[in-house]
Amino acid sequence: MANEDMNCIPLAAISSIERQIEVTPAIDIGPSVFANKYPLWHPKGTRGIFGGITIAQSLGAAQETVQREFDAHSMHCTFVFAGTAFSTIHYHVEVVRDGRTFCTRAVRAIQDNRTIFLATISFARTPPESITNLHHAERNPVAVPVPQDTGFESNGNEETMGLPYINQSVGMLNSNSPDPCDKRMHQWIKTRGKISPQGGSRAHLAALAFMSDSYFLAGLPHAHNIWSFVNPPITESYDTEEQLEMQSPVHTKIPRPHLQGGESVSNQSHRVGMMVSLDHTIYFHQAKQLKADEWLLTEVKTDWADNDRGVVLQKIWSRDGTLLASCTQEGVLRLEKCPNEVRISKLNSRL
């Protein structure tokens, strides 16, 4: 998002997610260095930031160094250290390559004098129409109900540290399958409030990058019917209980005891003791068609987990069924026994 465009419009006209993705030149640090312009969003009572912030702001910083006719088509990210919401993040952009059709940028996010995040981003100029162009795209699942707009979509342009996007959980397909690879988890997501015309397609891309980290790695334990966390992840953020369940004849509700008054889940012998993202990849397919402030359908599945790690895959469609992005994430996942199981184990060892 070009800062000269955004600086001339009132703050109230900028959606809350635009404030989270916008970066500003840090000329006192060096050339091609940018910093977050506004305070970093974080859930109340926490210090850590949502991973989508560094993903989106790294993309925003790289966008500032390429010509307008280039759109991001792939982004490969590595999380190095956890970031905090109370220190400025500086994004150092390296111009790796500038070509006629493609250009590449490397971004290093530094906070408190250490690198917390790395990204390699490739941009492409849209080619002219061609009859020889190959074309195929997976369509969205037809059985997923569409969301109904309610009151919590409004007030998106207010100065607030609330969640800058809205998500509505649909649930899980094939929940009774013994194979975790068979399961599909769906939710709808969009920005809170409308993205400003000044933000343009670049703001929509960065907003999608921000939201792509919402309910992603949690698909790993959920595919194994494990719902409880020692420390619930920031990515499991929902404003209201209305967002946790949509009526669907084919989906099963995903239990979220940490968001539903601490309700217990029966037959839970394990809970997630540690869950940390290692990397995050996004392939943007239709940059010009993307409207991140309209409902987008996400599908999360997993193909592999072992050695305390797992991989999750995500597809993102527009409401009309256009495949807009494909994402991959690997993370560390460690389980521990639930407290009641630990007590039973200790009791049995004494008998």
Tens of pLDDT, residues 132-174:
788 899 999 988 999 877 655 554 444 445 789 998 999 999 9
Q: Give yes or no: residues 244 and 300 share one domain.
A: yes
Beta strands across the sheet bearing 309-318:
23-25, 33-36, 90-98, 102-111, 114-125, 70-79, 270-284, 323-337, 309-318, 296-306, 184-191, 165-173
Q: Give yes or no: residues 168 and 121 share one domain.
A: no
Is 265 a member of any domain?
yes
Q: What's the domain range around 326?
A: 163-342
**Pick from 69, 97, 125: which residue ends a domain?**
125
Q: How confident is the model at residue 264 (pLDDT cuts 50, 70, 90)?
A: low
Is 139 a member of any domain?
no
pTM of the model: 0.89
CATH number at residue 99: 3.10.129.10
Domain count, the chain: 2
Is 140 a member of any domain?
no
Tens of pLDDT, residues 38-80:
999 887 777 889 999 999 999 999 999 999 999 999 999 999 9
Is 89 a member of any domain?
yes
Is 304 a member of any domain?
yes
**Pick from 97, 125, 153: which residue ends a domain?**
125
Is 226 a member of any domain?
yes
Q: What is the rounded CA–CA span in Å between residue 311 and residue 330?
A: 4
Is 141 a member of any domain?
no
Q: Give yes or no: residues 198 and 327 share one domain.
A: yes
Which DSSP category does 19 fall into? Answer: H
Q: Give yes or no: residues 219 and 291 share one domain.
A: yes
Tens of pLDDT, residues 320-345:
999 999 999 999 999 998 876 544 34
